[in-house]
Structure 1
Amino acid sequence: MSLDRRRFLQSGTAAVVSLLAQRHADAADPAPSEPGRSLGFTGVPASLRDAVVVPPEYEWQLLYPWGTPTGVPRQPMPAFAPDGSNSAADQALQAGMHHDGMHFFPLATPDRALLVMNHEYTDEQLLHADGVKEWNAEKVRKSLHAMGVSVIEIQRTARGGWRQVSPSPYARRVHGRTPMRIAGPAAGSPLMRTAANPAGDEVFGTFANCAMGVTPWGTYLTCEENFHGYFGGPKDAAKTATPAQRRYGTVPGSQWVEYWRFDERFDLTRHPHEPHRFGWVVEIDPFDPEARPIKRTALGRKRQESATCTVARDGRLAVYMGDDARFEYVYKYISKDRIAVTSDGPQARANSRLLDEGTLYVARFDADGRGRWIELTHGRHGLDAASGFADQAEVLIHARLAADVVGGTKMDRPEWIAVSPDGEVYVTLTNNTQRGDFGKPGPDAANPRANNFFGGILRWREDDGDAASLGFAWEHFVLAGDTDQPASGARYPSPDVDLFGSPDGLHFDRGGLLWIQTDMSGQLIGKPPYTALGNNQMLCADPATGRTKRFLTGPNGCEITGCVVTPDRRTLFVNIQHPGESRDDGEAKHNSAWPDGDAPGSARPRSATLAIRRRDGGIVGT
């Protein structure tokens, strides 16, 4: 094991020691004392200001906006071109667009770390100098380079802030054209084979990267979410789309961008298996720039949201995942074998098979507050050739259809999942305005509101506190919304709660505080029924009391996402995604120039990473 990975494991960020000891507290953790749980910061009001607003006793620092050179060694460092004229080659060496999930990996050198983050999707109007007036192959390449993952090195400054280290031997971009392996039960399946890769075990790229996870052995798991929008074809070919293609949204004519015209692998009529190679959890080793990323097919294919790792009582790995679409499911994967631990802790190579050999489950939430994990294994629960599954590979490639067969509970857009220090599991259910519509599933116990505009957070505790259990008890932590609107059905766990809607990102810090981030649609912010909620925001909650306080509000049109607190709890990293995003009559508009301009139109808005700290250097959240 490298010294750098050892530093990460020993830092407690991965919570390896405590997890493998049935979650006993790591002696190095800052104690979850009352000051750490008090939410003593000055809450900020809901706001429609085109600005980042934090409590007055805090300050924020702009760290890594779109277009910043990543600092790859022995490569050019192209500066961001404010007019959008950077080339595709430039973009492959710069911060991507639309920052999302993120994690902090301490290095062996004191006060240095790797910050790894996702870049979810592209705004083609901003990305190119002439917007979308004309598509060509260079634009396709640039767009693919603007998604994926950044690995950057950062260093703490003398006054407690952070700066990017550039160049860095660790720095790299993983993007939509990066070579990577396919592993697990679906690798080599006929449904994974293409003309370019007849073996079905290699693929170019990862994109649509939303939430994430971190393994106990120090690797990063990036999740491919809305991959479907990048595949297309002639609209008249839609009539031949299969039920599986329709369920996954890979239907000719429904594409968001015109990749298929200039990169044939995105043409569904020519390469119908290529979309099967996306929608996976991808493992990246941030400490080894030469290591190829690996798509882990045992975790199932879906619009992948979150890959939150924890450790079962017997030492096996458990991974919690959501599928971010209306009426989709919550999943859990349990490895076949235990995590291998040496005197240096878990090692990546020794545990590389844990994400390939195991069992995938889907959650059923029953009306009595109990739940059950139902196995998605070929030959069980009706998953056989008669129901359309020839083998386990097809069960995993079409995990959504398998979950339908076994009777999982259709949820209101399950997104980020976080596990508290005491083992409770929380999932955000962002919204579902179609629940109860004609022909659509109606309310149920876990999703109790028709036309659910505001979403909520649900939590459960596995039986015996063991992540390998197949039964659990669940409850609603919050049904979000505006309590002044009786029709919203909002219910909070405590009267001492600041209002919010459409929860998305979740993160537990080491003191047990829960950080909540929201993602209301940019075209609806400030309009009924969201008027009182202002711009998207981040809140901090004490799960023990339900007390929840607004900590940050963001610029116009943005989503607040990607959250991680350093092991010493002195810095909070947050991503501001797609500032200015709005729509008018279906046409993209931008109502912000954050962070570079003073007014809309004065600069291209740029997604960016912020480092937030208390001015006195104290613990964040207090």
Structure 2
Amino acid sequence: MTQTPAPGGRRLLSLAPTRHGSRSLMTCRYRCGNACDHAEPNRSDAGHVGEEIRKVVERRALLKGAAWGSGALVLGLGASAPAAASPGAPRASEAAAKPRGKRPKYELAKVDFRPVAPNRRDAVTTARGFEHDVVMRWGDPVLAGAPEFDVRNQSVAAAKTQFGYNCDYVGVLPLVEHRNDRRDRSLLVVNHEYTDPELMFPTGLYDETTATAISMANYGMSVVEIKRGVQPGNWRRVGNLTRATHNRRVHIDTPFRLAGPAAGSELLRTTADPDGVTVLGTMNNCAGGTTPWGTVLSGEENFNSYFDLPEGESLDERYTEAYARYGITGAGSGWSAVQERFDLSVEPREPHRFGWVVELDPYAPDEAPVKHTMLGRFKHEGANVALSKDGHAVTYMGDDERGDYLYKFVSAKRMRPGTGQRARAFNKRLLTQGTLYVARLTGDGAEDGVYDGTGEWLPLCTDTESFVEGMSVEEVLVFTRLAADKVSPTRMDRPEDVEPNPVNGKVYAALTNNSRRGSSFPVDEANPLDSSMVRASIGAPLTSASGNRNGYVLELSPQGRDHASTTFGWDLMLVCGDPEAPETYFAGFDKSQVSPISCPDNVSFDDLGNLWIATDGNALGSNDGIFRVPVAGPERGLVKQFVTMPVGAEACGPLIADSSRSLFFAVQHPGEVDGATFEDQVSTWPHTDDFPRPSVCVAYRNR
């Protein structure tokens, strides 16, 4: 992305693309270690469909009268039948405490708002009639005694008591069931994914080791008590921290307990933890979910680029294959200068202790969080739980890497109802026993005008038995990617957030993009677009590496509407991009009425079952945003942009709460644009300082 001078010295951003869509190289460096610049870790032949889809698409193009030779392809001209909404009253999703008084219900689910136009403003812009407030900013105090934030006087000790950097997942849980005297209070639970030292620290003020240590303390999670504001849907943090007894900061030195079959495995033992049962810290926590029993799940994602290998040392040959499959090269980020455990020559098993799903009980601030080995180890975007028809906990997950897989876990035991201490203690063990699966999708030929087909969940292991030849249960769970490769699942285009819809019983997965689809990864019906089929975006000419630029939203329909089923139907509900581009598809809805959408990343649902999508890396030339999409009825596929982010920022969360009155979301990495420095910022959002501060916001009706 290029920058041009503007009046007053503030830089404006042109629409000229980087080689990573609209995402800056700075973001790529600090968040995922420039993953797109390296060979993809999945070099297996799993999930290849070869040229079959190209023949199908070419035949379909001829039937529709499209010009194949020009690269223009008409897709999705035949609309699929609208999905019927489930009968009965809508079920609540992750909701805050029930409001008191007469207030309109399901406001964000029902309101007919005018879509926000694509823009490049350095602001959070909501739909007309709505406004937003900043709830928590980087550096705001979380614990009693935390110092007021001073960007020029940062320290490790202070950071461990303050709100961390680059918030991602947002959860809101009620306090009403636990403290009846606080009916208008809730718990905000947030991930802190990564840091950007170029925007965090005044140049030259901190030495490199000190800055690294402070950065490390800004990773992790925060639990913050919030209270209802004056207007319906508005929330703000509790100011008296001595009374906010649930507030908590989880950071790189917080002890975590390993649980499940791989806990205690030799593969997880280190010098500091010879028993392999306790890990210090969590990092690169991306999305997550709230469980039916009132805990929060958090996914450890791009952990691979934090492990150093000193010059002249070699990687441990016992783990060479596994390191390669997980993208661990030893070209780390300097963390070993602060803590020796991040030196691969000293602790070659330390990487095996990251890449898990974390479970935190926000109602038990003194209880150690858990890393669940039964859910497998890979680049977890998040984890979301639904209950099967007979009460088993079913957890859906995506491995956020080009060409990696969709997973799910089905618990061996059933959830116990109730919120009592004994029931919650039992339910918090549900994710330690059961069966781990990976998905294989099969297309039906696409003659019906949509990309759809059937799928099956392939078992990898239970807590006592491996179904992967030559691998033990412990090996399947620690090296899940290698195990999955052996059963030939479908290689997907960066499966990120995978969430069950509590209203219609279907499951929705955000497939963000894949710059190498069509080159390293052949197209198939579940991943159908490559550069020869995609019309160039405005100001973004196609290159040989363009691949799938704008991503998809995948809709899964479990057999019999039972999440425990091992078979499902699927369709690409959205083929994202510019609505004027012939390859895009919006569940058959009139494309002239929808908002442009690119690079879906996180999804959520309101109380009527509408899908809400947050984007990351918009390749169409405007800022990222959050969109509402009905999944049933005559407006199925009507994508409408509700809010846009500031310059350089990614939209995270989102979460519809408070009976669909409130939209919580995180503004991650504002101002993270190539060339920006602390002294020369591109963004100062939220405009409380002369530098940007990643923050959590809430949007609500302006009355």
Shorter chain as normaliser: what TM range?
Answer: 0.7 to 0.9
Q: Does 1:562 align with 2:658?
A: no
Name whichever of 327-336 and 369-378 sits farther off: 369-378
| 8 Å Cα contact 2:586/2:639 also seen in 1 | no
Q: TM-score, normalised by structure 1?
A: 0.86
Q: Does 1:612 align with 2:696?
A: no
| 8 Å Cα contact 2:136/2:163 also seen in 1 | yes
CA 426–32 in structure 1, closer or farther in 2 if over 3 Å, else same: farther
CA distance, structure 2, for counterparts of residue 500 and residue 539 of structure 1? 8
Q: Which residue of 2 aligns with 1:449?
A: 529
Matched ranges for 1:408-427 at <5 A: 408-420=489-501, 421-427=503-509
For 1:410, the aligned partner's letter is: R
Q: Deviations over 1:400-443 (max 9, x none)?
A: 11110011111000001222211110000000001122xx1211
CA distance, structure 2, for counterparts of residue 27 and residue 322 of structure 1? 24
Matched ranges for 1:153-168 at <5 A: 153-160=225-232, 161-165=234-238, 166-167=240-241, 168=244
Superposition deviation, residue 483 in structure 1: 3.4
Q: For 1:283, what is the secondary structure of its paired residue?
A: strand
2:267 to 191, 195, 205: 191
Q: Which residue of 2 aligns with 1:93?
A: 161
CA distance, structure 1, for counterparts of residue 679 and residue 326 of structure 2? 25
Q: For 1:347, what is the secondary structure of its paired residue?
A: helix
Q: How many equivalent residue pairs?
A: 567
Superposition deviation, residue 249 in structure 1: 1.4
CA distance, structure 2, for counterparts of residue 33 and residue 207 of structure 1? 37
Higher relative contact order (CA 8 A, sep 6+): 2
CA distance, structure 2, for counterparts of residue 588 and residue 343 of structure 1? 51
Q: Deviations over 1:186-223 (max 9, x none)?
A: 10111000000000000100110100011111011111
CA distance, structure 2, for counterparts of residue 193 and residue 23 of structure 1? 50
CA 310–133 in structure 1, closer or farther in 2 if over 3 Å, else same: same
Matched ranges for 1:571-610 at <5 A: 571-584=662-675, 590-596=681-687, 603-610=690-697
| 8 Å Cα contact 2:199/2:676 also seen in 1 | no
Identity of aligned residues (%): 39
CA distance, structure 2, for counterparts of residue 315 and residue 553 of structure 1? 39
Q: Which residue of 2 aligns with 1:492?
A: 586
Superposition deviation, residue 226 in structure 1: 0.6
Q: For 2:483, what is the secondary structure of its paired residue?
A: helix
| 8 Å Cα contact 1:32/1:511 also seen in 2 | no
For 1:512, the aligned partner's letter is: G
Superposition deviation, residue 56 in structure 1: 2.1
Q: Which residue of 1 aligns with 2:609?
A: 512
Q: For 1:291, what is the secondary structure of its paired residue?
A: coil
Q: Does 1:470 align with 2:566?
A: yes
Q: For 1:327, what is the secondary structure of its paired residue?
A: strand
Q: Which residue of 2 aligns with 1:122?
A: 195
Superposition deviation, residue 485 in structure 1: 4.0
Q: Which residue of 1 aligns with 2:252?
A: 176
Name whichever of 238-247 and 277-286 sits farther off: 238-247
Q: Deviations over 1:100-140 (max 9, x none)?
A: 0111111122111000010110112233344698421x433
1:44 to 107, 113, 116: 116
Q: Does 1:376 align with 2:467?
A: no
| 8 Å Cα contact 2:106/2:608 also seen in 1 | no
Q: Which residue of 2 aligns with 1:312?
A: 388
Q: For 2:565, what is the secondary structure of its paired residue?
A: coil
Q: Does 1:247 align with 2:294?
A: no
CA distance, structure 2, for counterparts of residue 63 and residue 289 of structure 1? 21
Superposition deviation, residue 595 in structure 1: 1.1
For 1:54, the aligned partner's letter is: T
Q: Which residue of 2 aligns with 1:434?
A: 516
Q: Which runs of no fewer than 5 residues in structure 2 stay unpaired?
A: 1-85, 177-181, 445-452, 531-546
CA distance, structure 2, for counterparts of residue 82 and residue 199 of structure 1? 40
Superposition deviation, residue 384 in structure 1: 3.0
Superposition deviation, residue 506 in structure 1: 0.4
Matched ranges for 1:300-379 at <5 A: 300-342=376-418, 347-368=423-444, 369-377=453-461
CA distance, structure 2, for counterparts of residue 470 and residue 27 of structure 1? 25
Q: For 2:699, what is the secondary structure of its paired residue?
A: strand
| 8 Å Cα contact 2:511/2:553 also seen in 1 | yes
Q: Deviations over 1:553-612 (max 9, x none)?
A: 111000001111223222111110000112259999852111126xxxx72211101111
| 8 Å Cα contact 1:582/1:588 also seen in 2 | no
Q: For 1:187, what is the secondary structure of its paired residue?
A: coil
Superposition deviation, residue 381 in structure 1: 8.5
CA 447–343 in structure 1, closer or farther in 2 if over 3 Å, else same: closer
Superposition deviation, residue 547 in structure 1: 1.1
CA distance, structure 2, for counterparts of residue 188 and residue 499 of structure 1? 49
| 8 Å Cα contact 2:175/2:183 also seen in 1 | yes
Q: Which residue of 2 aligns with 1:402?
A: 483
| 8 Å Cα contact 2:384/2:499 also seen in 1 | yes
1:460 to 556, 563, 581: 556
Q: For 1:64, what is the secondary structure of its paired residue?
A: strand
CA 298–134 in structure 1, closer or farther in 2 if over 3 Å, else same: same
CA 530–157 in structure 1, closer or farther in 2 if over 3 Å, else same: closer
Q: Deviations over 1:1-60 (max 9, x none)?
A: xxxxxxxxxxxxxxxxxxxxx996468899999976545012110001111111220011
Superposition deviation, residue 301 in structure 1: 0.3
Name whichever of 259-268 and 90-99 sits farther off: 259-268
Q: Which residue of 2 aligns with 1:77?
A: 146
For 2:174, the aligned partner's letter is: P
For 2:661, the aligned partner's letter is: R
For 2:614, the aligned partner's letter is: Q
Q: Does 1:286 align with 2:362?
A: yes
Matched ranges for 1:205-220 at <5 A: 205-220=281-296
CA 476–409 in structure 1, closer or farther in 2 if over 3 Å, else same: same
| 8 Å Cα contact 1:506/1:563 also seen in 2 | yes
Q: For 1:348, what is the secondary structure of its paired residue?
A: helix
**Aligned-residue CA RMSD (Å):** 2.6
Superposition deviation, residue 484 in structure 1: 3.3
Q: Deviations over 1:301-338 (max 9, x none)?
A: 00111201000011100000001110010000000011
CA distance, structure 2, for counterparts of residue 205 and residue 372 of structure 1? 35
Q: For 1:376, what is the secondary structure of its paired residue?
A: strand
CA distance, structure 2, for counterparts of residue 148 and residue 51 of structure 1? 26
CA 560–263 in structure 1, closer or farther in 2 if over 3 Å, else same: same
CA 371–152 in structure 1, closer or farther in 2 if over 3 Å, else same: same
Name whichever of 475-484 and 324-333 sits farther off: 475-484
For 2:334, the aligned partner's letter is: E
CA distance, structure 1, for counterparts of residue 159 and residue 108 of structure 2? 41
CA distance, structure 1, for counterparts of residue 261 and residue 339 of structure 2? 28
CA distance, structure 2, for counterparts of residue 477 and residue 425 of structure 1? 11
CA 37–101 in structure 1, closer or farther in 2 if over 3 Å, else same: closer
